[in-house]
Amino acid sequence: MEDKKTNDKKIYMPDTAYAVMASLFGAVGVTGTIAVSYELSYTNSFLAFIFLVVSILAIKDICKEFRNSNIRAKIFAYIFSLLISAALHMGAQLECYENVNFKQITLYVFTVLLAVYLAPIIHHMWIKVPVAINELFVKKNDEETIKYTWVWLIIFILWLPTFFALFPGAFVYDATEEYTEVISRSFSMHHPLFHVLMLGGIVHLAEYLGLGANAGIAAYTLFQMIVFSAVLAYLIHWLGMRGMNKKFQLISILFFGLFPIFPMYAVCSAKDTLFSAAFLMVILLLVEYSLSTKTFFDKKMLLFVASSVIMMLLRNNGTYAYAVAIPVIALIGIFGKNDKKQLSKLIILMLLSFVLFAGINKCLKIMTHATDDEYQEKLTVPIQQLARAYKYSPETFSEDEKSILYEILPEDYLKTYNSRISDILKSGFDNRAYSRNPQKYQKLWLDIGLRKPNIYLNAWLANCYGYWYPDMIINVYGGNQMYTFKYKDSSYFGFETEPPGERHSFFPLLERFYRNISLELFQQKIPVLSMLFAPGFVFYLFAWSLFGLMRDKRWMMVAAFMPMILLWATVLLGPTVLVRYVLVLWCAIPMFFAVENIKTNE
């Protein structure tokens, strides 16, 4: 008995010591993550002491579990925790000051301290969450799956009140420009031609038939609602077929049907909704391939090719993500010792999809005589970097360099620099001047960057941090006057119906609800729930699931999510932070939670 007590003590004391140390580190490290401008908001507070005491009691057993885990699990937990901690600390500085002070030693110290605290918690979640989901939501017998048509119908019906509240739909985010291209017969490659012709064509056809623009917008919105709900229903049904029970399906149905983001974007004319539907289908079918190549190649090849082509026709960054994903998936499959014959078939299908997309897009360009002479979308980050250097360190530029800069970015536009969005600045970019001698301007960008690397790094981070920092208030359009309102506290969603459409709400109270979500600090004021509206938080749900798969060496499943990883990487180089650019992350949330428990074979 003496020996047993001694052994228990040897095990217990280090775990308690780690719990105390980690909790103290967490109490200190969390200081730098609070996005407020006054220094003593948390540190000189009884709240910090409460955090310490409660945390010690809560994570003592978790620390014991973490200590007994293998080295691989610990490494992945520390890496993921370090990434989260770094994002929280840098994001807090960007939210308050639009700048990260990389010379501040406490930034690195607090980052490490918080990571030490988070690692055992993250590790515990990787163990317990799949177990809890298995107990609650995995079929224990031959329980039937909810029929696909019922899932589809319920989601669509749940969206109808939003459709009538925002009738004929939220005609926003470049919709007027796309419509104008169709009626003027003057096309460019600035917006995907496939969506321009579809959206503008339906609206213009309704006008031509004498039904009016509202009828056309409503027709397009209903069509989009049908497609979007069909894809989300397919995901829910597929998860049911893979072993998730009716309870999980019902929760997913209610999530897709009632959580505001889904009905909002179901009735929004932006190309991102249909793009997200097609992209989600691509990811789902790649996961299907990783689980069962026989099922995939027997039944799903045509659906995979069609989804891939449509996805690329709807957003350029989807094309970039898909193109890079092809060799990455091939390498993962080869080194993962997968069936080479089946892997070759998949790569051939992906290459075929890419060729079909390129051919269709080229045909559309020839048929519409669309111009393709714009560079600013590809140069968003360099444009922001040059403008930030010009604003905060004008002495860096010689007179000759200023003259070169003015050739592509007039001084009046340089003064409009906004760290969170590049739209106004980009609109002044001279594409003709740049096209005459790109090397000259690329050299200017490189020379200034070598002199001011911190400015360049902050210009990039400040433009995209909402995708990896969950506490960002999305108000990138703050101060901008729209057709029926002016953005003030928030620009979460476009909300309005722009010309040629006109809003006729059948449910004004529900319309007011969506207006509050879109334009006010409404959902952000609700603790915890506000996180579900944050792109950065939803990304970490995805990353948590992805790191768990890597930890468990499920490399082909990781490969299946590769296009989504790369899509997220492309938005980091985009013009601003908006929900619509990463809508697919919300669509895939049920998959993130179920991925550890779905069956390998049907």
Do 561 and 283 form a contact (C-beta atoms < 8 A)? yes
Is the pLDDT higher at 37 or at 366? 366
Is the confidence at residue 5, as pLDDT, over 60? no
- Over residues 137-156, the mean pLDDT reads 91
pLDDT digits (tens, 9 = 90+) for 283-294: 999 999 988 877
Write down the pLDDT at residue 581: 97
At 602, is the pLDDT very low, low, confident or very high (cuts 50, 70, 90)? very low
- Check: CB of residue 239 under 8 Å from CB of residue 598: yes
In this predicted structure, the answer to whether residue 552 has a pLDDT above a threshold of 70 is yes
Distance of CA 134 to the CA centre of its chain: 27
For the chain, percent of residues with pLDDT exceeding 90: 75
SS3 408: helix
Written as six digits, the tokens of 2 are 């003496």
Cα(356)–Cα(361) distance, integer angstroms:
8
- Who's near 193: CB < 8 A, 6+ residues apart? 187, 361, 364, 365, 368, 370
Helix runs in 477-594, H state only: 508-519, 535-551, 555-560, 562-571, 583-587, 589-594
- Angle, helices 193-208 vs 213-241, to 10°: value is 130
Cα 44 from Cα 182, distance rounded (Å):
61
Mean of pLDDT over the chain: 91
Q: What is the pLDDT of residues 112-123, one digit of tens each?
A: 999 999 999 999
pLDDT of residue 38: 47
Task: Specify the pLDDT at position 336.
Answer: 76
Lowest mean pLDDT among 544-548, 551-555, 577-581, 595-599: 595-599
Q: Would you place residue 4 in the very low, low, confident or very high pLDDT band (cuts 50, 70, 90)?
A: very low
pLDDT digits (tens, 9 = 90+) for 166-202: 999 999 999 999 999 999 999 999 899 999 999 999 9
Distance CA(495)–CA(172), nearest Å, equals 7
Q: Give the range with max mean pLDDT: 266-275, 288-297, 341-350.
A: 266-275
Sign of CA dihedral 427, 428, 433, 434: negative
Res 6: pLDDT: 38
Q: Is the pLDDT of residue 211 over 90?
A: yes
Split at pLDDT 50, 70, 90, the class of 268 is: very high
pLDDT bin (cut points 50, 70, 90) of residue 1 is: very low
What integer pLDDT is reported at residue 8 of this predicted model? Answer: 43
Structure tokens at 311: 């996805």
Most confident of 38-47, 65-74, 258-267, 331-340: 258-267
Q: What is the mean pLDDT of residues 283-312?
A: 90
Tokens for 380?
Answer: 């968003």
Tell me the mean pLDDT in the region 231-243: 95
Scanning 244-337, the segments in alpha helix (DSSP H) are 246-258, 261-266, 272-291, 293-299, 301-314, 316-335
Greater confidence (12 vs 149) lies with 149
Q: Say which range, 24-33, 157-166, 328-337, 415-424, has the weakest mean pLDDT.
A: 24-33
Position 42 scores a pLDDT of 59
Encode pLDDT of 17-56 as tens digits.
777 777 777 777 776 777 655 455 556 667 777 778 888 8
Q: What pLDDT, on a 0 to 100 scale, did the predictor assign at position 3?
A: 38
* pLDDT at residue 473 tops 70: yes
